[in-house]
Amino acid sequence: MTKDLGTCKITVLTRMFNQALVDAYLQVEEGYGVCDQFQDGQEFMLENPYSRPEGFCSWAWADIRHDIMLIAAGGDPPWIKQPHTIISGCTDWFRPVIFKIERVS
């Protein structure tokens, strides 16, 4: 790992479900709902921002890794209230997951 990259924490803020889009566009079995890969409040620590944590959805990782790299490299988006933090999300618009990514060291 490069010295310039810090340790990051990813927190699952919320999982959502868009019933209107599911009804309009998907053929799903009963019981289809929020993403079951994560739990609200779940946390992942990243010592190495290049490696997906064990148990982390590969689709969500692909969607948020650019934000992880920004924060790991010391980025500080000016539109976010908390320093060295960004809000990012999985682009499954039927049942998206919203994450908080923060540099902790």
**% of residues, the chain, pLDDT over 90:** 90
| Per-residue pLDDT tens over the stretch 64-75 | 999 999 999 999
Q: How high does pLDDT run on average in the chain?
A: 94
| pLDDT tens digit sequence for 75-93 | 999 999 999 999 999 999 9
96 and 89 Cβ atoms separated by less than 8 Å? yes
Q: What average pLDDT score do residues 37-49 get?
A: 96
Which helix (H) or strand (E) segment is 99 a member of? strand 97-103
Please list the residues that pair with 101 across neighbouring strands. Answer: 10, 86
pTM, two decimals, is 0.92
What pLDDT score was predicted for residue 3?
56
